Amino acid sequence: MARGPLPMSDAPLVAGVELGGTKCVCLLASGPADIRGEVRVPTRGPTETLAAIEAVLRQWHTEHGFRALGLASFGPLDLEPRSASFGCIVGTPKRAWEHVALLPRARAFTVPVGIDTDVNGAALAEGLWGGARGLESWAYVTVGTGIGVGSIVAGAPVRGLGHAEAGHQRVPRLASEHWPGSCPFHGDCAEGLASGPAIQARAGLPFADLAADHPVWNEVVHALAGLLHNLILTVVPERILVGGGVVLGQPTLLPRIRLALQASLGDYGHVGRSVLTEQYLSTPVLGERAGPLGAIALAHRALQ
């Protein structure tokens, strides 16, 4: 199943909503080259926020008649189709959003609806229009407020006991490091060591204000190399796109991670250092648009 970009001229007009922790982005588009509408809604309580999003969608639906709707949301989400809470937010630290029924509400538009996590959506968008075109297996990693990983296997997001949460992997520490980490669930998991808030808690400054040679980057590099080592050996992606504010904001980081990862993988068979070309481990092509375009990608999948 080799897959290329959708033929833009024939791609149907769809709507997508990326629900994020601070803002929600609504798009009306057939793809990145044909964006007909874009509205940002600040993320407040669910009642107010969803009412504002629905007003945007209703107007677009009336005026343009979009063919499908995609929802790319922060999680955790219930993505088990047989579950009573399918398509709802579950067990999030954002208590007001717990049990919010995204998919059931979206069905009011009587078009096919696709829903997945924000990172799985972004991964799919990179597959359709970005840095993973033509691949069957790839991963999208974002290191920012948290660490999100979207893994695509055989062209579809990994699904099992719900969706994956591979940013919370357990990774080795540097020998001299004992800081307990900032993850409220796992302490020093990868997200607890290398996310933006973790770096700020550790260094006492926002990550954007840290010099490239600040010692906190040593453990960030080590933790992210450990995460990527495990991701490569577990889901063997054909390419990994790494973005998010932390990685994009500190240009020395990805080259350092690549070196640490080469040392970590060593010369191990088909998953050794030789796979780590610059193309293999690179930044997302769609940049900040990967998130909202992920919702558009989910809408297109809902039509298939």
Q: Per rule CB under 8 A, is residue 3 in the interface with its own copies?
A: no
Among 112, 136, 203, 262, binds its own copies (CB under 8 A): 136
Q: Which stretch binds its own copies (CB under 8 A): 36-44, 48-56, 119-127, 180-188?
A: 180-188
Task: State which of residues 264, 286, 298, 302 lies at the interface with its own copies (CB under 8 A).
Answer: 264
91 binds its own copies (CB under 8 A): yes
Question: Is 162 an interacting residue with respect to its own copies (CB under 8 A)?
Answer: yes
Torsion of the alpha carbons at 118, 120, 126 and 131, rounded to the nearest 10: 120
170 in contact with its own copies (CB under 8 A): yes
Residues binding its own copies: what is the number (CB under 8 A)?
55
187: region left, alpha or beta (phi > 0 left; psi from -120 to 50 alpha): left
10, 213, 267, 278: which one binds its own copies (CB under 8 A): 267
Can you read off the two tokens belonging to residue 282? Answer: 């690179």
Q: Which is nearer to its own copies, 11 or 78 (CB)?
A: 78
Identify which range of 20-28, 30-38, 210-218, 236-244 contacts its own copies by CB under 8 A. 236-244
Measured from the CB atom, the residue of 57 and 164 that comes closer to its own copies is 164
Residue range at the interface with its own copies (CB under 8 A); choices 8-16, 23-31, 162-170, 291-299: 162-170
Q: Which is nearer to its own copies, 54 or 136 (CB)?
A: 136
Q: Are 302 and 72 in contact (CB under 8 A)?
A: no
Q: Contact between 76 and its own copies (CB under 8 A)?
A: yes
* Cα separations in angstroms, 259 against 16, 122, 224, 256: 37, 26, 11, 5
Amino acid 177 reads E
Give ∠ CA 136-134-80 in degrees, rounded to 5.
40
What the block records as the tokens of 72 is: 């790319």
| Residue 141 to residue 123: CA distance in whole angstroms | 8
Distance of CA 302 to the CA centre of its chain: 19
- Is it true that the peptide bond before 180 is cis, omega within 30 degrees of 0? no
Q: Give the binding site for its own copies (CB under 8 A).
A: 75-76, 78, 90-92, 136-138, 149, 151, 153-154, 156, 158-166, 168-173, 175, 178, 185-186, 188, 226, 229-238, 264-272, 275
